[in-house]
Chains A and B, each alone.
Chain A
Amino acid sequence: MSDENTKSLTLSVKNLRKSFGPVEVLHGIDLTLRGGEVHAILGENGAGKSTLVKILSGFEPLTDGELHISDGSGSSQRITLWNNAIAEQAGVVLIHQEFNLAEQLTVAENIFLGNEIKGRFFLDKKTMRTKAQEYLDILRSDIDPDASVAQLPVSAKQMVEIAKAQAKHARVLVLDEPTAVLTQQESQVLFELIDRFRQDGVAIVFISHKLDEIKQIADVITVLRDGELVGSYPALQLSKDDMARLMVGRELNSLFPEMPKVPGEAEVVLRVTDLLLQGNSTPSSFELRRGEVLGFSGLVGSGRTALMETVLGLRKSAKGNSGSVELRGERVDFKQLSAARNKGVAYLTKDRKGSGLLLEKGLVFNFSLFSLHKVSSLLIDTKREEVAFEKAIETFDIRMKDRSIAAGNLSGGNQQKLLLAKILEAEPSLIIIDEPTRGIDIGTKSQIYHFIAQLIASGHSLILISSDITEVIGLSHRVAVMYHGQISGVLEGDEIEEIEIMRYATGLKNKNLEQSGISNAKA
């Protein structure tokens, strides 16, 4: 893509070990990254993927082992001193799971952050802007270099990160779960880009939990399990089943549990009629019945979370909203989440770290925060709180080294199980869960699906917002699809399939228009 990238680089580690204090987390990893190859690293949460890539890119020192670099000439050089600055000098750039952008600065300023082009005395803003535009053009991105990063959608922020990597002349580009925050279409754009980098001889390291994507894009797959190297394989040799098996180390039961049918006469638990969201002109209506999973599909930003948060009182509805929300036949207008909770409605946020858990607080503190009223009269009964927590650890199989750790020190999957335990402790009968398995390994995913099935079997009702279409299809009785802040269709039975959902999600089909078309014709 640019001439700086033509020299390809091979980076390899031998018998790499990493310890945090007395605990060894990586036990002798061998790995070779070659220019022009997409190297996927696969493993459950806590398998050591992120630690490994942090070491490769110099963000973490290695405890033991060898690191070699060779450029095209064939001579391999053992590297003894390795840190982030040296790694970037050599062209190894990591794009973090959580982006590393200065939100208040512009796109161009971010691209050259820490790498500024200077004139005689001052920063050469003009050149940087022009260069930034060039980089963005190469990426075929229409992002404005003068836009402030804070205002960009997630996918654009990622693009800025990639442009930033280009400005550093990346020859090894490490992407830690780049698609976790992207829609399927955005992911495809990213894959095209990765492909072009590959053709230019850049070595790509790609971490993802989505086996489809790995199948699609990887040349080499390295599997880690509990900090051990399971092996490196040519991607063509592995099926998705093989990948899952190698990762988990045992045969997986079917990922999706059998979902109980919704009885024909099941009452309507939640009826939303003509609810108008802020910044929207088309109102939304839908129904949820007892014992039903209603999936909500749609592109990121299509208004699924906004719709639910408006129902729950976490957001205000639009001015002039004349719609209504009925819970078990009773008209409700929640102004606070506590009001919804007291009526037996709970919400699992998609932002586990920003809105779900207090990362620096203890596990019990987090667990009981949503349902403190249950264990308190005048004072909090800490004994009952402990007992409830012990029970939840059992029920939800929350695994930890030590009860006294902070929630932030749990692995992602266990954080998610703790969050689920937290909201279910309030004993809701209607549960709205938003992206319940984002960034979670397949074993925990399967567990969460089974919890959902159990909830349904015991008469709970559930709304499932998810950007993972297989998940929506695998769990939902009906699927509502949103497009541009409105429900473009509610699909049932045979209609529930990937292509059809995508048609509604991208605006190709829209039941509202069809209906209005019919009524217009009648009139």
Chain B
Amino acid sequence: MLKLDLKTAGPFIALVVVFIIGVLVNDAFLSSGNLSNILARSSFIGIAAIGATFVITAGGIDLSVGSMAAFISGCMILLMNALMDTIDSMVAIIILALIASLGIGAVAGLINGLLTTKAKIEAFIVTLGTMGIYRSLVTYMADGGTLSLNFTIGDVYSQVYYGVFLGLPYPVWVFLAVAVIGYVLLNMTVFGRHCFAVGSNESVARYSAINVDRVKTATYMLQGVCVSIATIIYVPRLGSASGQTGILWELEAIAAVIIGGTVLKGGYGRIGGTVVGALILTLIGNILNLTDAVSNYLNGAVQGIIVIVAVYLQRGAWRRD
């Protein structure tokens, strides 16, 4: 029992440790401005990672997350700029863009899902392919440069990123909402149970009257919708999109999922762990910014070490059972 608790609590303990390091490194770390910044920044990766938790739990993998985010950003900006001429209400334009964003995310996920289930191509290959496609499309749409959001809309839309409710930025609330919904969906519904079963053993799932293809496709669609939500709160932050947008998001999302204790080969997933994983990754970046002891350029290296150590510890706990 104690071992099990240690396994569940591991990511939380790591979060506390990283947090204490942050406190020790720089006084500015604890300032409310810095803390809410950390939370807001972790929400992009966090929301995408919640989608990835479903995909990975059901035994899949989605590498197209980052380029999908870039592609959706590009589409949203082009759409909003285009609608400027026909629609007067800024709010209406933004709402249309949000709907379009969610639609594109869902369809992109559907495509990944159908290619893995119906065309029976490995998820790694399918999403490697779509990753290249979306990345290239956004570069093409931007003509190799940058797509910028019209300033008038940008001003209104920026509220979504910079607005504050009860002392916390909106993105944090969105993150929280997605996490709660994700938690309920994964742990308390038939669909969540089916994700575990499919990731654990597809054949058993099939013989248990589970529509394996539908479950897997649904996880990719969820991933697409999560990417779209992350993009919706990300676009107003920069107000632009280019071939460089969202680079490596997929790997950070997968890292957050794994640090959180979800098993990469599927069958076991934890939303709470994923949220903690996203926070840890963002905290590390933030701490490296605040200290001179380690160069900020080594951010990726530190994150990499954390992922490897996290998995090593999990496997150790696994074997002792």
Which residue numbers of A lie inside 8 Å of B, CB to CB? 314, 336-338, 340-341, 347, 349, 351, 354-361, 365, 369-370, 372-373, 376, 378-380, 422, 426
Contacts and interface: CB of A to CB of B under 8 A. Distances in A.
B201 interface: yes
Contact of B211 (A336, A354, A372, A426): A336
Given A360-B200, A379-B184, A365 B210 contact: no
B211 A369 contact: no
Contact of A337 (B188, B196, B197, B207): B207
Contact of B197 (A341, A358, A378): A358
Given A314-B206, A341-B209, A358 B190 contact: no
B207 A347 contact: yes
A504 B194 CA distance: 42
A379 B189 contact: yes
A370 B189 contact: no
Contacts of B205: 369
Nearest to A373: B190
Contacts of A356: 204, 207
Query: Size band of the B side of the interface?
Result: 20 to 34
Nearest to B188: A379
A378 B185 CA distance: 10
A370 B203 contact: no
Q: Which 4 A-B pairs have the closest CB atoms?
A: A338-B209, A337-B209, A341-B209, A355-B207
Which residue, of A336, A354, A370, A373, has the highest number of chain B Cβ atoms within 10 A? A336
B279 to A, nearest CB: 27
Given A357-B204, A358-B200, A369-B197, A336 B209 contact: yes
B193 interface: yes
Nearest to A351: B203
Given A358-B197, A365-B197, A376-B189, 8 more contacts: A336-B209, A336-B211, A337-B208, A337-B209, A361-B197, A369-B210, A380-B188, A380-B189
B272 interface: no
A372 B267 CA distance: 17
Given A314-B207, A336-B209, A338-B210, A369 B193 contact: yes
Contacts of B193: 365, 369, 372, 380
A361 B208 CA distance: 14
16 contacts: A314-B206, A314-B207, A337-B209, A338-B209, A347-B207, A355-B206, A357-B204, A358-B197, A358-B267, A360-B200, A365-B196, A369-B210, A372-B190, A380-B188, A380-B193, A426-B209
B208 A369 contact: yes
Interface string B152-193: 000000000000000000000000000000001000111001
A373 B210 CA distance: 11
A337 B211 CA distance: 8
A341 B206 CA distance: 12
A181 B208 CA distance: 23
Nearest to A354: B203
B204 A370 contact: no
A378 B190 CA distance: 8
A339 B18 CA distance: 51
A449 to B, nearest CB: 23
A334 B1 CA distance: 44
B189 A378 contact: yes
Contacts of B208: 337, 369-370, 422
Contacts of A359: 201
Given A355-B204, A379-B184, A361 B196 contact: yes
A369 B198 CA distance: 11
B120 to A, nearest CB: 14
Contacts of B211: 336, 338
Contact of A358 (B188, B189, B204, B209): B204
A354 B201 CA distance: 8
Given A376-B190, A380-B189, A380-B190, A358 B201 contact: yes
Nearest to A407: B204
A373 B208 CA distance: 12
B318 to A, nearest CB: 10
B191 to A, nearest CB: 10
Nearest to A422: B208
Contacts of B200: 358, 360-361
A356 B207 CA distance: 7
A338 B188 CA distance: 20
Interface string B68-102: 00000000000000000000000000000000000
Contacts of B194: 372
Given A369-B193, A373-B190, A349 B207 contact: yes
Interface string B203-225: 11111111100000000000000
Which residue, of B190, B200, B203, B204, has the highest number of chain A Cβ atoms within 10 A? B204
B188 to A, nearest CB: 5
A337 B204 CA distance: 12
A370 B209 contact: yes
B60 to A, nearest CB: 17
A379 B201 CA distance: 23
Nearest to B192: A380
B216 to A, nearest CB: 14
A381 to B, nearest CB: 10
Contacts of A314: 206-207
Contacts of A422: 208
Contacts of A355: 201, 203-204, 206-207
B103 to A, nearest CB: 25
Contacts of B207: 314, 337, 347, 349, 355-356
A422 B196 CA distance: 17
Nearest to B185: A379
Nearest to B184: A379
Nearest to A368: B193
B195 to A, nearest CB: 12
